Amino acid sequence: AQTVTQSQPEMSVQEAETVTLSCTYDTSESDYYLFWYKQPPSRQMILVIRQEAYKQQNATENRFSVNFQKAAKSFSLKISDSQLGDAAMYFCAYRSDRSNFGNEKLTFGTGTRLTIIP
Amino acid sequence: NAGVTQTPKFQVLKTGQSMTLQCAQDMNHEYMSWYRQDPGMGLRLIHYSVGAGITDQGEVPNGYNVSRSTTEDFPLRLLSAAPSQTSVYFCASSPLRGYNEQFFGPGTRLTVL
C-alpha cells in the first residue's frame, strides 16, 4: 500500500517571501500522479497543482511550483511571493495510474498548516 | 454547474442514532468517494464507487454503508452513530483513472454525543 508523509505539521512565512512544504511518499509503482490540495478555513478542498510521475519536468502554476524527485520519492511544494490568502492547510496526495478497480482513490498525507505573517 | 454538493453542512447526533449524509454531483463522473477528516490524520477513504451499482470499501469502512443507484448520487449511511464517528466528511468525484482532478464537496461536520 502507498503511504504519504508530510513531516512539517506547521510552517510560517513572511508575506512576499518563499516557502517550501515537504512531502515524501512510498510506492512500488512506476506510474502515478501526485497532487497538492489547499484547505483554507472555509474547509473547501482546492487543487493547487498536480504532477504526472512519467514527466521529468516539474509542474508550475503561477506562484506555485513543485520539486519532483522520483528516485527519492519526494514531492515538495514551493510557494513564491507568499500572500495572506495562501494561509491554509496543505495536503499532499498520491493516486495510482494502474487501471484496476479502486485505484482512483487518493492517499493523503497528514497536512501542513501554513501561516502567513504580515 | 453546482459541482459536488453535500447536505447537511452540520449535524449533531446522539449515540445510537442513524442518519444519511447526502452527496450529489452533476458532472457525470463515474468515480465517487467518501473521506473522513480527523485532526492530525489527513483524509481517509471510507467507501468508493466506480459506477452505478458498484461500491467497495476503503481504509475505514466500519460503521458506514453506501449505495449507488444513480451516477449522480452517493449517500453515506451511519447505521448506529458512535462518538468515534465525530469528524468532517467529504464527498469527492472524478472521471475514472488518470490525471483527473477529484472535485470535493464542501464537507459535513458531524458531532456524535
Provide the shortest C-alpha distance from residue A114 to chain B (in Å). 14
Residue B69, pLDDT > 90, answer: yes
Q: DSSP character for A62?
A: T
- Give the pLDDT mean for A20-31: 94
Distance between CA B85 and CA B105 in Å, rounded? 19
DSSP state of A58: P
Q: Name A38's bridge partners.
A: A46, A90
With a CB cutoff of 8 Å and minimum separation 6, the contacts of B29 are B71, B93, B94, B95, B103
* Contact (CB, 8 A) for A63 and A52: no
Residue A1 has pLDDT above 80, yes or no: no
Whether residue B41 is predicted with pLDDT greater than 90 in this model: the reply is no
In our burial notation (b when 16+ CB lie closer than 10 A, e otherwise), range A39-52 reads beeebebeebbbbb
Q: What is the pLDDT of residue A100?
A: 63
The answer to whether residue B101 neighbours chain A at the CB level (below 8 Å) is yes
The residue count for chain A: 118
Question: Can you tell me the mean pLDDT for A83-88?
Answer: 97
Record: contact A104-B104, CB cut-off 8 A: no
Of A31-35, A87-91, B64-68, B96-100, the one with minimum mean pLDDT is B96-100
Q: Which of B29, B22, B21 is nearest to B3 (CA)?
A: B29
Whether residue B63 has pLDDT greater than 80? yes
pLDDT-based confidence at A6, cuts 50/70/90?
Answer: very high
Q: What percent of chain B has pLDDT over 70?
A: 96
Q: Are strands B108-112 and B10-13 parallel, antiparallel or unpaired?
A: parallel
**In chain A, what residues touch B110 (CB-CB under 8 Å)?**
none
Q: Partners of A19 in the beta sheet? A: A79
Q: What is the pLDDT of residue B98?
A: 60
Which residue among B43, B58, B101 places its CB closest to the CB of A50? B101
Taking the C-alpha atoms of B96, B97, B101 and B106 in order, what is their torsion angle to the nearest 10 degrees? 50
- Tell me the mean pLDDT in the region A90-112: 84
* Predicted pLDDT of residue A96: 84
Cell of B27: 458532472
Question: What value does the mean pLDDT take over residues A33-56?
Answer: 94
- Closest Cα in chain B, distance from residue A112 (Å): 9
Report pLDDT for B97: 63
Q: Does B5 touch chain A (CB under 8 A)?
A: no
Tell me the DSSP string of B46-67.
EEEEEETTEEEE-SS-TTEEE-
Q: Contact A52/B48, CB-based, under 8 Å?
A: no
Residues A55-81 pLDDT 10s: 889 999 999 999 999 999 999 999 999
What local confidence, expressed as pLDDT, does residue A45 receive?
95
Distance CA(B47)–CA(B44), nearest Å, equals 10
C-alpha cell of residue B90: 467529504
pLDDT at A47 over 90: yes
Q: What is the pLDDT of residue B95?
A: 86
Q: What is the mean pLDDT of chain B?
A: 93
With beta carbons under 8 A apart, name residues in chain A contacting B31. Answer: 104
Decide if A97 contacts B100 (C-beta within 8 A).
no
In whole angstroms, how large is the CA radius of gyration of chain A? 14
pLDDT of residue B101: 83
